[in-house]
Amino acid sequence: MAKIHDEIAAEKAAHETELRALSRPTIRAGATTPWGVAQISRQYADGVILHSTASHGGFHLDENANAVVHPLYRNDTGFYEEDCEWAKVAHAFPQRFTAYERRLADRTLRDYYPDAYERVMGVTLLEGQSHARDRQDFEKRHRNDWVVIAALNSNHKPGFVECIATLGAKCDGTDERRFLVPSSDYIIGRHGFVIDPLKHEPYDGPSSFVTWSARR
């Protein structure tokens, strides 16, 4: 644990040192963006500007800068929102980002754009290397299984969790079923809880869900 803490502290210190060496000057705000009028704008490189608005923000790249972005990552508008798409900009202009930011960008691209990432990087992502890819694999494996979409501790059966599940965790109005799962069994995995038909029987008794109670 101490080693991990030291590694995090060292990475943070290196990040701060690199930030001080990078030029990201504040420029005149007021630009129109998809997220509103920019309140703060910082220039990362020629034609690469990060805009922050009252609610959100992201990068805007001019035509020349946008041409540097890999075609599989490129947005024709030149705008890249700050939650995930910023990583596309970091990939295109790695010299304008710290090592810490580049590591986060790589993780973000793997997690949210796995198909493009594999083609751009020439790799095959393995289990645990991409949240989106793992989610896709989970959905394929369990498309015919009952997967929980809502759960709460049962007021009617102490020690149990009342679960609402659908096939493949679909939320498109398909058939829903309720199950009672022992609290000790209900450990949610990274992508959801799968009902075990040999252990978890369908339940049609009094419900702790208001909507189900109303149906009765």
Residue 99, CB-side half-sphere exposure with 13 Å CA sphere: 10
Residue-averaged pLDDT of the chain: 91
Residue 122 is classified by DSSP as: T
Mean pLDDT, residues 22-34 taken together: 93
Average pLDDT over residues 130-149: 92
Please state, as a whole number, how many other Cβ atoms lie within 10 Å of the Cβ of residue 174: 9
Name the more confident of 1 and 115: 115
C-alpha to C-alpha distance for 160 and 139, rounded to whole angstroms: 26
69 with 39: CB under 8 angstroms? no
Where is 59: in which H helix or E strand?
strand 57-61
Q: In this predicted structure, what is the pLDDT of residue 4?
A: 66
- The tens digit of pLDDT for each residue in 145-197 reads 999 999 999 988 999 999 999 998 887 767 899 999 999 999 998 889 999 99
Give residue 47's identity as a one-letter amino acid code: G
The pLDDT > 70 percentage for the chain reads 93
The answer to whether residue 11 scores a pLDDT higher than 90 is: no
Write the pLDDT tens digit of every residue in 45-76. Answer: 999 999 999 999 999 999 999 999 999 999 99
214, pLDDT greater than 70: no
Q: What is the mean pLDDT of residues 4-13?
A: 76
Q: Which residues contact 2 (CB under 8 A, 6 or more apart)?
A: none
CA distance 97 to 89: 10
Residues 6+ apart with CB under 8 A from 157: 180, 205
- Region label for 202, one of left (φ > 0), alpha (ψ between -120 and 50) or beta (otherwise): beta
Say how many Å lie between the first and final Cα of the chain, rounded. 52
- Report pLDDT for 58: 97
At residue 133, φ and ψ (nearest 5 deg) are -65, -40
